Amino acid sequence: MDPFTAREVPETDVCLGQVAHRLNRLATLRVTFRAASAALLGASALAACAAWLSPQEFRLALALVVGLVLLVVALSLRVLRRRWAGPLEAAGWVESKIPLDQRLLTLVSARPRDASARLWPELVADNRKQLGRWRADRLGIAALPANVLLLLASALVAWLFLVPWYDAGSLPELPGRATAPQAQTPGGEAPGESGPSGVGPQSGFQSGTRGADAGAGPQAKVEGAAPTGALAELQSDLKQNFERSLGGSAVLQDGSGKQGDGAEPQAERGAVAESGLGKSEAEEGGLVPDEQLARREQDDGSGQTVQQEGGAQGGSAKARPGEGQRGRQGEPGAQEQKKGGAQAGGRAAPGGDAPADGPMALGNEDGLKQHAGGAGAGSGKATGDLLAKKPLTLDGGRHKARFSLTLGGIPGKAGSDGPKSMEAQPSSRIADAGTGPQEAARAVRHEEIPAEYEAVVKRIFKREP
């Protein structure tokens, strides 16, 4: 007996309760799956963003994604609340599935005065007759909502983009991949720099490609080494997972190629670097115009000063073979190259303090430059093999820099051999990369010399009156 309606229809009520329970369970699952799908997709999108966006942009993206996920959850909960099925709603649902001509609806929604109607027993009996048509087990209420497919798809995407596919330490030892870390070992004391994300050298210089043009080899280290705050850590973690994930690797390799995490691209770059012309190849991998400019400056065979500037910029590219060559050019000079080997983030690794080696010399045009190139040849293939072994003997190719470079030229902490080298290291000119002396020098070099000036110069050097 229903105390509210004074109805006595226990059998029908029991079946209706079962229907309502199943409907509510299905609705709850639907909402849960939708919310979970939104969260997974949001996390995947965040991971992808983390690999591409700056910290500021990442914060914005994080807020956007979190807001969207919360919105989806809130809307889902609202829908769930609105569609929560009581006996009346369950009766309506049954009526929509099984044509009962509102028998059940009338029975459930009957008011107390209806329960005393003369035809009430007939209505109850009539509904009892119809019970076999709509028992809960005959309604075919699905065990899982249809959006379970969405959840599975979201889980697949998340697995592709969030779950690390491999460990950095378990990677096959490819020369190209090992190049960057090795380059730091020549200094020996300067461990390979890796960002706090631990992605490896590349991650620290993921921006590498971008950072290269900014001439921020050391600078990039500074940025990567300073992940302050939870957001930075979150971005770092997501980025790391994304880069190590199956889908992330595919996306990054098929994209600009700036990602140095993949073994194959690195190997290719390393091979290119060996020829001494690898910079141009590496540029296809994502070098930005400023790097092109630096190479042009190098190619024109102009003064050493220019090469030094370019080298300072190229320092950031140590993680990449091609950039490593730029670093070679960027060596301040023959004397400083010996020290700069370590400073350059290991680019000088092949040669270490030693003079220029063969592969490096390939890229140089004169003897002086050969000296300079000695430090920078670390990225070359010939040296790559050599470089590959050293880091693996240390800690699997993943090194953390213990020194940092202050962009203003203030010596940072160095490794075991660092202090000496660091002190001799020239200050970075990252800030002036685009508009500084390099630009001025280039302008001067490309300036058209008037004929009368040439005559004057000749006369001066001939010391003719």
Partner 1 sequence: MSGEAVVHIGDKLPTPAEFGETFAHLEREIGKVVVGHRDALRQILIAFFAGGHVLIEGVPGIGKTLIVRSLGEALDLTFSRVQFTIDLMPADITGTRVLEESESGRRTMTFAPGPLFTHIMLADEINRATPKTQSALLEAMAELQVTVAGTTHPLASPFFVLATLNPIEMEGTYPLPEAQLDRFLFKVSLAYPGLEELRAIVRGTTGATHGQIAPVFPDQPAEHANALRRKVREVLVAPQVEDYVASLVRATIPDVTGDEKVKSYVSYGASPRGAQALILGAKVVALLAGRVNVSFADVEEVAVPALAHRVVVNFAAQSEGVTSRAIVEHLLEVARKWQR
Binding residues for partner 1, per CB under 8 A? Answer: 92, 96, 101-103, 105-107, 109-111, 114, 117-120, 122-123, 126
- Judged by CB, which is closer to partner 1: 52, or 120? 120
Whichever of 125 and 163 has its CB closer to partner 1, that residue is 125
What's the min distance (Å) between Cβ of 97 and partner 1? 13
Nearer to partner 1, 106 or 302 (CB): 106
Q: Which is nearer to partner 1, 91 or 214 (CB)?
A: 91
Please give the Cα distance from 343 to 55 (Å, whole number). 27
The least distance separating partner 1 from the CB of residue 117, rounded to whole angstroms, comes to 6
The least CB distance from residue 91 to partner 1, in Å, is 9
Pick between residue 5 and residue 182 the one whose CB is nearest to partner 1: 5
Task: Tell me the C-alpha to C-alpha distance, in Å, between residue 456 and each of 129, 394, 448, 451, 462.
Answer: 118, 60, 15, 9, 10
- Residue 463 CA to residue 457 CA, distance in Å, equals 9
Closest distance of CB 128 from partner 1, Å: 13
State the nearest-atom distance from the C-beta of 13 to partner 1, in Å: 16
> For partner 1, which is the closer residue by CB, 66 or 105?
105
- How far apart are CB 20 and partner 1 at their closest, in Å? 16
Which of residues 100 and 433 has its CB atom nearest to partner 1 in the complex? 100
Nearer to partner 1, 73 or 98 (CB): 98
Q: How far is the CB of 140 from partner 1 (least distance, A)?
A: 20
Nearest approach in angstroms of CB 111 to partner 1 is: 8
Q: Is the Cβ of residue 103 or residue 221 nearer to partner 1 in the bound state?
A: 103
Nearer to partner 1, 4 or 461 (CB): 4
Q: Shortest Cβ distance from residue 50 to partner 1 (Å)?
A: 47
- Give least dist CB 120 to partner 1, A: 7
Long-range contacts of 145-153 (CB under 8 A, 24+ apart): 145/26, 145/27, 145/29, 145/30, 145/33, 147/30, 147/33, 147/34, 147/37, 148/29, 148/33, 150/33, 150/34, 150/37, 151/33, 151/34, 151/36, 151/37, 151/40, 153/37
The distance of closest approach from Cβ of residue 105 to partner 1 in the complex, given in angstroms and rounded to an integer, is 5
Shortest approach of partner 1 to residue 100 CB, angstroms?
A: 9
- Crossing angle of helices 304-314 and 367-376, rounded to 10°: 10
| CB closer to partner 1 out of 102 and 305 | 102
Beta carbon nearer to partner 1, 96 or 228: 96
Nearest one of 313, 273, 274, 310 to 295, comparing CA atoms: 310
